[in-house]
């Protein structure tokens, strides 16, 4: 065996040990070695014993010595590290280069939101990081809550985010397989059909007691199973997993695997009436789809035992289930339970209301997909739930849109100003201070609008500069200001104010979204509408254009007469 191979292995083992409190493992090192040197796959038989040897050598030396050797002999491995840190994601346990498969499995029961973005982006980033694949799978086995509109909205949301997937599928297209697995379970005694009522089932589960159905024989179960497709009514029979009614983990107390739902399915209409629940469907699908790393939010953690046990008993391959924290913003909940009533009661205008955490709302508000990705990857990868400050997302967004936002003047609650000795007819103003985004010609005739807040501060004798134009001195204060032009030289000590020519001023409304909930109460003042005027140039901009209104903030053009405030 070549010395350089041995040396490469030693470096990888040392690095891995340094990242895991001084202990490395054969499997981690094997996957990393093959990841960095795929050509060694052909010599795997000689490599494996060599790796075991190196791993036990490395594990037998003290942590500090490992570190010293790593620094002196393998500085290049340490230098390469920031590349991984850049994405913010820690290495994926047990991941092999080229064979990672992740999936994003939304249920089409609502509009995609920032939490879905987190899940989809992490799934995608890991798939890319390891040269693997991302499956986009609709977990659509609960027809009561699912609608075609939501399939479409989720797909639109992912495409907008720029999440690229390698395959898209629906769990509901695999119903025949799922039925086969259910029958396998019933035949093997791993599941039984229970006809107890809901209350009795919950009571028994609380009290750790089995019901009579649990003792039913195979012929009873098979008969009942076939009756589930015709005779029983919804709610009269369910297939239950034979777990343990005494388990400390309540999930394992004979949970439901399949139930009857008569509501037609958005894709399959009335073709099926027996539907798997989440645990059964997700385990089978993940395994069949070749998923290697299945992420979900941490409230599912107790369900892991069931997930693995279902696959164990079906003799199916087990993906690794990993958890991350749910993401939501302070005062901006993502849960459908909370958002649905707001839309239904007309408290917000729809799922694209700019106060909401939906992707559609983010887009309307002027948050760009790259900012969401950077933001998600900047979150620490912990399991504790993250109530992220919206400011952090805003600051990523600002850095990105600043370079492409056109600068315009806007006056809110406008006040009229007349410059009595105006001699200019037209000025040319650059659309961006640094970038070449063109210039616009603005006609002036001495009558202007300036922001009401600025106007109120002015007294006769005050001097100020009308930005990009000239300096003036106020001759008359009040609601109809008058002033005289005093010069054009730039003077840093006087205040600067933006203006809009009164001739041709375009009336617009600025919607300013504020926090939706304060102390768990709906904030009735969560949407402020400001009356404003802006330059005629605004009319020629496309809907969706991001504008920085000078001295005001970034806004996105939402329609001919409305912009939405993005952030400062």
The binder of ligand ATP chosen from 220, 244, 297, 431 (CB under 6 A): 297
Q: Which of residues 116-135 bind ligand ATP (CB under 6 A)?
A: 116, 118-119
The least distance separating Mg ion from the CB of residue 171, rounded to whole angstroms, comes to 13
How many whole angstroms separate alpha carbon 504 and alpha carbon 481?
A: 19
Q: Is 36 exposed, middle or buried (0-12, 13-18, 19+ CB in 10 A)?
A: middle
The least distance separating ligand ATP from the CB of residue 413, rounded to whole angstroms, comes to 38
The binder of Mg ion chosen from 107, 227, 263, 445 (CB under 5 A): 107
Query: Residue 182 binds what, of ligand ATP, Mg ion, none (CB under 5 to 8 Å, by partner type)?
Result: none
Considering only 43-51, 107-115, 258-266, 482-490, which stretch makes contact with ligand ATP by CB under 6 A?
A: 107-115
Q: In which residue are the tokens 């209301």 written?
A: 353
What is the distance in angstroms between the CA of the first residue and the CA of the last residue of the chain? 62
Query: Residue 496 binds what, of Mg ion, ligand ATP, none (CB under 5 to 8 Å, by partner type)?
Result: none
> Which H or E run contains 240?
strand 238-241
- Comparing CB distances to ligand ATP, the nearer of 300 and 470 is 300
Query: Residue 395 binds what, of ligand ATP, Mg ion, none (CB under 5 to 8 Å, by partner type)?
Result: none
- Comparing CB distances to Mg ion, the nearer of 123 and 546 is 123
Q: Is 452 exposed, middle or buried (0-12, 13-18, 19+ CB in 10 A)?
A: middle
The binder of ligand ATP chosen from 8, 211, 283, 334 (CB under 6 A): 334
Does residue 263 belong to the site contacting Mg ion (CB under 5 A)? no
> Which H or E run contains 10?
helix 3-19
Does residue 107 belong to the site contacting ligand ATP (CB under 6 A)? yes
The binder of ligand ATP chosen from 32, 190, 326, 557 (CB under 6 A): 326
The binder of ligand ATP chosen from 296, 303, 373, 465 (CB under 6 A): 296
Q: Which tokens go with 528?
A: 């402020």
Report the DSSP pairing between strands 133-138 and 101-104: parallel
Does residue 336 belong to the site contacting ligand ATP (CB under 6 A)? yes
Rg (alpha carbons) of the chain, rounded to whole number: 32
Does residue 468 belong to the site contacting Mg ion (CB under 5 A)? no
Q: 102 with 123: CB under 8 angstroms?
A: yes
Query: Residue 310 binds what, of ligand ATP, Mg ion, none (CB under 5 to 8 Å, by partner type)?
Result: none
Return the residue nearest ligand ATP (CB atom). 115
- Comparing CB distances to Mg ion, the nearer of 33 and 332 is 332
The least distance separating ligand ATP from the CB of residue 334, rounded to whole angstroms, comes to 5
Does residue 145 belong to the site contacting ligand ATP (CB under 6 A)? no
Does residue 328 belong to the site contacting ligand ATP (CB under 6 A)? yes
How many whole angstroms separate alpha carbon 59 and alpha carbon 370?
A: 42
> Which H or E run contains 486?
strand 480-487
Considering only 108-116, 232-240, 309-317, 400-408, which stretch makes contact with ligand ATP by CB under 6 A?
A: 108-116
Query: Residue 293 binds what, of ligand ATP, Mg ion, none (CB under 5 to 8 Å, by partner type)?
Result: none
How many whole angstroms separate alpha carbon 201 and alpha carbon 219?
A: 22
Does residue 335 belong to the site contacting ligand ATP (CB under 6 A)? yes
Number of residues that bind ligand ATP (CB under 6 A): 16
Query: Residue 115 binds what, of Mg ion, ligand ATP, none (CB under 5 to 8 Å, by partner type)?
Result: ligand ATP
Considering only 104-112, 157-165, 507-515, 553-561, which stretch makes contact with Mg ion by CB under 5 A?
A: 104-112
- Comparing CB distances to ligand ATP, the nearer of 125 and 535 is 125
Give ∠ CA 193-196-202 in degrees, rounded to 5: 105
Does residue 147 belong to the site contacting Mg ion (CB under 5 A)? no
How many whole angstroms separate alpha carbon 347 and alpha carbon 162?
A: 31
How many whole angstroms separate alpha carbon 55 and alpha carbon 40?
A: 17
The least distance separating ligand ATP from the CB of residue 289, rounded to whole angstroms, comes to 14
- Comparing CB distances to ligand ATP, the nearer of 286 and 454 is 286
- 118 CB contacts (<8 Å, ≥6 apart)? 324, 327, 376, 379
- Comparing CB distances to Mg ion, the nearer of 326 and 365 is 326
Does residue 333 belong to the site contacting ligand ATP (CB under 6 A)? no
Residue 14 has φ and ψ, to the nearest 5°, of -65, -45
Considering only 105-113, 171-179, 198-206, 262-270, which stretch makes contact with ligand ATP by CB under 6 A?
A: 105-113
Instruction: Please tell me what DSSP assigns to residue 264.
Output: P
> Which H or E run contains 453?
helix 452-457
One-character DSSP codes across 352-415? T-TTS-BHHHHHHHT--HHHHHHHHHHS---SS-EEE-HHHHHHHHHHHHTTTPEEE-EEES-E
- Comparing CB distances to ligand ATP, the nearer of 119 and 410 is 119
Half-sphere exposure of 294 (CA within 13 A, CB side): 25
Q: 100 with 127: CB under 8 angstroms?
A: yes
- Comparing CB distances to Mg ion, the nearer of 107 and 305 is 107
Q: Is 57 exposed, middle or buried (0-12, 13-18, 19+ CB in 10 A)?
A: exposed
Q: Which tokens go with 205?
A: 């589960």
- Comparing CB distances to ligand ATP, the nearer of 106 and 369 is 106
Residue ranges binding Mg ion (CB under 5 A): 107
Q: Which residues in this chain contact ligand ATP in the complex, by CB under 6 A?
A: 105-107, 110, 115-116, 118-119, 296-297, 326-328, 334-336
């Amino acid at each position: 065996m070549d010395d350089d191979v041995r040396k490469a292995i030693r470096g990888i083992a040392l690095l891995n040990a340094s990242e895991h409190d001084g202990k490395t493992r054969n499997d981690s090192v094997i996957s990393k070695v093959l990841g960095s040197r795929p050509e060694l796959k052909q010599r795997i038989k000689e490599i494996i014993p060599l790796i075991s040897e190196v791993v036990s050598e490395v594990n037998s030396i003290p942590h500090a010595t490992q570190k010293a050797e790593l620094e002196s002999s393998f500085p290049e491995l340490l230098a390469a590290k920031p590349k991984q840190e850049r994405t913010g994601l820690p290495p994926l346990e047990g991941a092999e280069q080229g064979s990672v498969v992740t999936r994003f499995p939304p249920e089409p029961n609502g509009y995609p939101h920032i939490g879905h973005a987190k899940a989809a982006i992490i799934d995608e980033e890991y798939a890319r990081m390891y040269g693997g694949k991302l499956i986009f799978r609709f977990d659509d086995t609960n027809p009561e809550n699912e609608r075609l509109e939501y399939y479409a909205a989720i797909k639109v949301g992912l495409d907008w985010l720029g999440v690229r997937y390698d395959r898209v599928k629906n769990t509901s297209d695999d119903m025949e397989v799922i039925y086969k697995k259910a029958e396998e379970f019933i035949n093997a005694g791993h599941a039984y059909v229970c006809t107890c009522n809901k209350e009795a089932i919950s009571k028994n589960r609380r009290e750790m007691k089995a019901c009579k159905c649990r003792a039913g024989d195979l012929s009873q179960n098979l008969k009942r199973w076939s009756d589930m497709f015709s005779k029983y009514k919804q709610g009269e029979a369910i297939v239950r997993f034979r777990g343990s009614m005494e388990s400390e983990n309540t999930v394992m107390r004979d949970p439901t695997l399949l139930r009857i739902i008569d509501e037609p399915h958005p894709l399959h209409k009335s073709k099926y009436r027996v539907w798997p629940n989440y645990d059964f469907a997700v385990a089978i699908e993940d395994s069949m789809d070749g998923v290697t790393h299945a992420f979900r939010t941490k409230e599912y953690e107790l369900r892991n035992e069931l997930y693995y046990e279902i696959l164990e008993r079906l003799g199916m391959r087990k993906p690794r289930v990993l958890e991350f924290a749910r993401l939501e913003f302070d005062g901006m909940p993502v849960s459908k339970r909370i958002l649905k009533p707001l839309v239904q009661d007309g408290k917000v205008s729809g799922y694209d209301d700019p106060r909401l955490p939906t992707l559609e709302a983010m887009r309307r508000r002027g948050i760009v997909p790259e900012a969401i990705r950077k933001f998600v990857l900047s979150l620490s990868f912990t399991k504790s739930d993250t109530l992220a400050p919206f400011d952090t997302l805003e600051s990523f967004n600002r850095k990105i849109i600043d370079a492409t936002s056109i600068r315009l003047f806007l006056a809110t609650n406008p006040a009229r100003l007349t410059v009595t000795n105006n001699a200019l007819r037209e000025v040319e103003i650059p659309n961006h201070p640094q970038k070449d985004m063109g210039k616009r010609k603005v006609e002036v005739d001495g009558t202007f609008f300036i922001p009401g807040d600025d106007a109120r501060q002015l007294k006769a004798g005050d001097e100020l500069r009308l930005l990009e134009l000239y300096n003036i001195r106020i001759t008359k204060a009040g609601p109809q200001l008058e002033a005289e032009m005093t010069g054009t030289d730039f003077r840093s000590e006087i205040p600067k104010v933006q203006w809009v020519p009164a001739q041709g001023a375009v009336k617009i409304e600025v919607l300013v979204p504020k926090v939706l909930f304060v102390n768990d109460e709906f904030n009735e003042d969560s949407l402020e509408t400001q009356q404003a005027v802006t330059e005629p140039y605004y009319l020629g901009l496309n809907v969706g254009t991001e504008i920085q209104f000078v001295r005001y903030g970034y806004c996105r053009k939402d329609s001919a007469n409305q912009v939405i405030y993005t952030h400062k």
